[in-house]
Structures are given as structure tokens and as C-alpha cells.
Amino acid sequence: MGKFFKFEKMITPIFIQIIFWLGIIGCIIGGIGMIGFGFISDMSTFPQVIIGLLTMFLGPIIVRIYCEMLIVIFKVQGALTEVRDMMKEERAPEQHYDLAE
């Protein structure tokens, strides 16, 4: 719990996964809505259906790429934290010399 309050443990990757699933659901529902609107609309039926299909199939891929880029940022932060901790362990305790002697 101490790492949580010191901001050493990130909780944002969990939220990124939630954003991913909400984005997937939004793309599918939005695509179905566009297709349905394209069928009941009097004008521009075919383009609306095509855009709905593209939203359903390309939307989740775009959401996935966006979320992966965000996760990479947090993995880099985690790796840098590990390197910092290893360097602290390897560093010998500093010796202070008294120059007056």
C-alpha cells in the first residue's frame, strides 16, 4: 500500500483495459447504429452502411493500437523504475573522508 501512496505503483493500466473494452463496445454499437440508420434513412443509404461496417471492423483495431501505445508508456516507466532500484542496490555506500587529517 505504501507504493500506491508514493505513486510507485501505477493503477492507470487497469483503467486503460477498461477504456479498451468500452471502446470496443462503443465501436460495435456505433457501427450497428450507423448501419441501422443507413437502412431507415431516405438519403445516402449505401455510404452510411459502409461507414458503419468500417466503424465495426476498423474501430476496435484503432482502439487497440491506442491502448497499446498507452500501455507501452507505463511499461517503460516500470522498466526505468526497476533499473533505478537495481542501481541503488549495486551502488556501494558512500565513504566520507575527513580531509582535515
pLDDT in tens, the chain (101 residues): 677 777 767 778 889 999 999 999 999 999 999 999 988 887 768 888 999 999 999 999 999 999 999 999 888 988 888 898 888 887 756 655 555 65
Q: Say how many Å lie between the first and final Cα of the chain, rounded.
A: 47
pLDDT value of position 13: 80
pTM given for the model: 0.70
The domain spans of the chain are: 9-82
pLDDT value of position 93: 60
pLDDT value of position 54: 96
Spatial separation of the C-alpha atoms in residues 96 and 25, rounded to whole Å:
61
Rg, the chain, Cα only? 25
CA distances from 92 to 6, 32, 84, 89 (A): 25, 63, 14, 8
